[in-house]
Structure 1
Amino acid sequence: MPDGSAKRTGIALTERQRIAWLRLIRSDNVGPATFRDLINHCGSAENALAMLPELSARGGATRAIRIAGVQEAERELEAAHRFGARFVGIGEPDYPPALRQIEGAPPLLAMKGDLSAATRPSVGVVGSRNASISGAKFAAMIARDCGRAGYTVTSGLARGIDTAAHRASLETGTIAVLAGGLDQPYPPENIPLLEEITEGAGLAVSEMPFGWEPRARDFPRRNRLISGISLGVVVIEAAERSGSLITARIATDFGRLVFAVPGSPLDPRCHGTNGLLKQGAIVTTGSADVIEALAPLSQLDLFNQPMVEEPKEGGEMLPPNDDDRAVIVSALGPTPVDVDDIIRHTGLPASSVYLVLLELDLAARLHRHAGGMVSLAMED
């Protein structure tokens, strides 16, 4: 059984740092991976904000990069405060420890509810929005038993399986990951459920700005957070090409355990889960299958992991010359390549390669792919 009183370690951001972090992640062309690279290169978020125009210009930007202002960040922090939420940085004690380990973890998460729920070992439970009665009952059983075993239950607040899992773990602790801002939950009929979660032993989490209405492309990002927060993901009734299968694939990429509940071959809602079983997912016919498989992982110390911190001194390096920059850009194309291959191909220092990639990224000329792969954005 996991220890419910998990130790909470980390470095608290000052209010000035929190504003700078929020400004940086809300600026144009700055995603989680770029955020980390900027901190590593510039030494702090404040330094990075000052250097954004120069870096994007060196990358070939055709227009000035939009940088989020102080007032914009302060308004969002105030909106969070009014909503009863707060922003938690990746290096702070209340940030989900398993999420810290993934590539491109969000530097800031908006959270509302019982923050201790984020620091305990978690299991994801996902599946069909159009769930069968038996599927919903099975999801509730898994969630209830995992909760009693000391795990929080993480899901996406969707209809069907997600709803059943959240409801069954209200007392023991559940995390609802939202695709939009915390103040824009979807679907609307689950707003009362979300209120029960955040007013009890649960937590609502989002990486999106307040006021952000979820769009179709935001749900894979939500699924990514579900997989990152969880040590393992249980998939119940997932059709082919469903969002739940995306969650399972991402969980596999993160090295998480994937559990699948077998179903009738005649039920389209089970085609995806049966396919996962053929691909090596853990056959799950009861809660013990999940709890026993997760037990060794729940004992791991997930808190001593590298994280984004604000160094005391800037780490800025001199930019490469124009010839070296041209060599690096010419090594890129529309096909994703590994950064290590670029370094070997060009024979240039890794620091120069990473800096040029950062410049291209800020100029919207670079695409980042899973596994640290990158490609050049082709001009129209």
Structure 2
Amino acid sequence: MTPLPVSPPRTEAERIDWLRLIRSENVGPVTFVQLLRHYGSAGAALAALPKLAERGGMARRIRIAEAGEARRELDAAAEAGAEMLCLGAATYPRLLALIDAPPPVLWARGHVHLLSDPAVAIVGARNASAAGQRMAQQIAAGLGESRVVVASGLARGIDTAAHRASLATGTVAVLAGGVDDIYPPENAGLYAELAETGCILSEMPMGMKPQGRHFPRRNRIISGLSYGTVVIEAARQSGSLTTARFAADQGREVMAVPGSPLDPRCQGSNRLLREGATLVQSADDVLDTLRPVMGGSMTEPDSREPLLPFPAPPAEETLSDARAAVTSLLGPTPVDIDTLVRMSGLTPPVVSMILLELELAGRLERHAGHQVSLI
């Protein structure tokens, strides 16, 4: 039985508090979950934010999202026909909930039930060749015939080909902006079809225009939704390689279609194969690769139960003596949190609270593998 990190909101007031908390300054997925577990509810966490940020060294008052801001986002979602999916709820994507620090809140348009079906990501070059697009179509169509949902990012090229080939059988498009923002604009027709027959998903606020820093977050969701990621035509610096790295970090399968060594669009995907990605050339290859895990424990997270909350927040007297010890161990080089606990001689809740204060003050950065560094 896999424990849930939090219990989902059950009333509109709780949903507003969740939106306010995740939209507040310096609150990311890890901080969000830790705040809920320390304080028991989003409302209590919101009340604690100013003091926590002050204790972490913030010289001004932290920006906390207003209730009116959250209500406007809920209204915009209702107008767009979008559904709010909260971590811990039955509607939240099952595989995504298993990754490290899943997004606490998602917005979804279309057929949300597709998020509960087994999925495979297909990503690749925006300036894809005709052969690459045909390969994406063939693999996507073959996966659909086997009742596997295709996840991608609605980008030009490979993403578009994969979505179009799986519209009739089930496809999920993850956006870097809000679910009500169509990007790229030339995919407006495909977006409309996805809203009718597929599912459109994003962690960004309603109405948000995509920015460069949003695309890695989108890619992390694409891989997190999926049992495996198939890369078709990716240049050396392609964002598709970011999706593949996320998939590997999440313990998911990374697959790639081989391409011509003379084509720059294939240099990144060919490099994945040299580094150990599984070579695939058809939907059957993908299914053969994933069959062991698709029949395994990752398909059974429905019986999870909420974790017990953290112990009550440590007393200020305890924290004041411990802050210097933890901060002295931090620097620009990432360090594992377990190492901080061991070297400081402090309890995990005390170290967790001090890191929480530093992050809310904008002084701490979190890295993959439960590592942190001082800004």
Q: How far 1:12 sits from its partner (Å)?
A: 6.3
CA contact (8 A) 1:238 1:271 kept: yes
Separation of aligned partners in 2, 1:238 and 1:255: 21
Shift of 1:148: 1.3
Any idea what the Cα deviations from partners look like across 1:246-293, whole Å, max 9, x if unmatched? Answer: 111111111110110001100111111110000010011111110112
Aligned twin of 1:180: 177
Contact 1:112 1:205 survives alignment (8 Å)? yes
1:151 to 148, 153, 178: 148
Distance 1:108 1:11 in 2: 10
Partner of 1:3: none
Tell me, in whole angstroms, the C-alpha distance in 2 between the residues paired with 1:167 and 1:285. Answer: 19
Matched to 2:168, the amino acid is E
Tell me, yes or no, if structure 1 residue 295 matches structure 2 residue 288: no
Unaligned stretches of 5+ residues in structure 2: 1-6
Q: Counterpart amino acid of 2:89?
A: E
After TM superposition, the runs of 4+ consecutive aligned structure 1 residues lying more than 3 A away are 304-311, 313-317
**Correspondence for 1:219:** 215
Tell me which amino acid in the other structure corresponds to 1:355. Answer: M
**Which residue of structure 2 lines up, in the alignment, with residue 243 of structure 1?**
239
Query: Could you tell me how far apart the structure 2 residues matched to 1:117 and 1:174 are?
Result: 7
Once residues 186 and 321 of structure 1 are traced to their aligned partners in structure 2, the CA distance between those partners, rounded to angstroms, is: 46
Among 353, 357, 361, the alignment partner of 1:363 is: 361
Q: Please say if residues 43 and 310 of structure 1, whose CA atoms lie closer than 8 Å, have aligned partners that are also in contact.
A: no
The answer as to 2:26 corresponding to 1:29 is yes
- 1:55 shift after superposition: 0.8
User: 2:313–2:353: 8 Å Cα contact kept in structure 1?
Assistant: no
Matches within 5 A, 1:274-313: 274-299=270-295, 300=297, 301-304=299-302
Which of residues 112, 135, 139 is equivalent to 1:115?
A: 112
1:71 and 2:68 matched: yes
Query: Cα 1:346–1:318, aligned 2, differ >3 Å: closer, same or farther?
Result: same
- Superposition deviation, residue 306 in structure 1: 5.8
Instruction: Please give the secondary structure, in 2, of the residue aligned with 1:204.
Output: strand
- Is the CA contact 2:95–2:225 (under 8 Å) kept in the aligned structure 1? yes
Shift of 1:77: 0.3
Quickly say closer, same or farther: Cα 1:294–1:40, change in 2 above 3 A.
same
Q: How far apart in 2 are the matches of 1:132 and 1:337?
A: 43
- Matched AA of 1:290: V
| Equivalent residue number for residue 90 of structure 2 | 93
When normalised by structure 2's length, the TM-score is 0.94
What letter matches 2:330 in structure 1?
L
- Go from structure 1 to structure 2 and tell me whether the alpha carbon gap of 1:38 and 1:12 turns closer, same or farther (over 3 Å shift): closer
Question: For the Cα contact (< 8 Å) 1:113–1:197, is it kept in 2?
Answer: yes
Distance in 1 between residues matched to 2:266 and 2:208, nearest whole Å: 33
For the 8 Å contact 2:233–2:269, the answer to whether it is kept is yes
Q: Is the 8 A contact 2:142 2:283 kept in 1?
A: yes
1:326-365 mapped onto 2 (5 Å cutoff): 326-365=324-363
1:129·1:160 contact (CA, 8 Å) conserved in 2? yes
Structure-1-length-normalised TM-score:
0.93
CA pair 77-310 structure 1, distance change in 2 beyond 3 A: farther
Choose the corresponding residue for 2:137, options 113, 137, 140.
140
1:323 aligns to 2:321 (yes or no): yes
Give the counterpart letter for 2:92 in structure 1: Y
- 1:171-210, aligned counterparts within 5 Å? 171-200=168-197, 202-210=198-206
Q: Give distance in 1, aligned partners of 2:9 and 2:331.
A: 41
- Partners in 2 of 1:232 and 1:122 — Cα distance? 8
Mark the CA change 1:308 to 1:198 in structure 2 (over 3 Å): closer, same or farther.
Answer: farther
- 1:11 deviation in Å? 5.8
- Paired residue total: 366
Partner of 1:15: 12
Q: Secondary structure at the match of 1:33?
A: helix
Q: Closer, same or farther in 2 for the Cα pair 1:316/1:327, shift >3 Å?
A: closer
Amino acid of the structure 1 residue aligned with 2:193: E
Contact 2:9/2:18 (<8 A) preserved? no
1: CA distance, partners of 2:230 / 2:272: 11
CA deviation profile, 1:87-121 (whole Å, cap 9, x unmatched) = 11011111110100111100010000001001111
